[in-house]
Amino acid sequence: MNARLLFLLGTIQWLAFTLIHPILVDIDLALGLHSPIGPEVRPDGDNLRLALIANTWDFGWGGETIAHRALSGFSLWVPTSSLFFALINVTIGRSPALPHALLYRLTIINAAAMAVFTVFAFTCFVRLPQIGGVAGTILFGLAAYSMAREQPVSG
């Protein structure tokens, strides 16, 4: 299979994270639709959002913030960084003038980043990001393998 096609298919995983994460996490949390904390932990019936708003995280000399704001900031950072990965990949990956060695290195970086994400997904997240992470890692890995076979990269 064409290495650039595999590279762009891997990039679709970054775009999927960008689009799906806000729907599954941010909107759900903001509206308080679901909570991973069961009723036995919340006997008063408050939802997770209210619990996060009521708690402050103190980072010492780094400052303090309410837990909801800290998680919201991180939660917005995840799809934003995925979007930047995807935009960089689409911009660079579609360029026919891009030297093979540079695209190969970019593919390796993407495979490594996706593999790290996959480890986090299996450690902390639910099935959908796990599946996306595995798919992205495989696609970028196959792209790198195809590139190395098409034209060996030195140094």
The pLDDT tens digits of the residues spanning 130-150 come to: 888 899 999 999 999 998 888
Residue 33's pLDDT is: 52
Residue-level pLDDT at 75: 75
Tell me what the mean pLDDT of segment 71-79 comes to: 77
User: If you write DSSP's letter for every residue of the chain in order, what string do you get?
Assistant: --HHHHHHHHHHHHHHHHHHHIIIIIIHHHHT---SS-TTT-TT---HHHHHHH-EEE-GGG-EEEHHHHHHHHHHHHHHHHHHHHHHHHHHHT-TTS-HHHHHHHHHHHHHHHHHHHHHHHHHS-HHHHHHHHHHHHHHHHHHHHHHHHSPPP-
pTM: 0.73
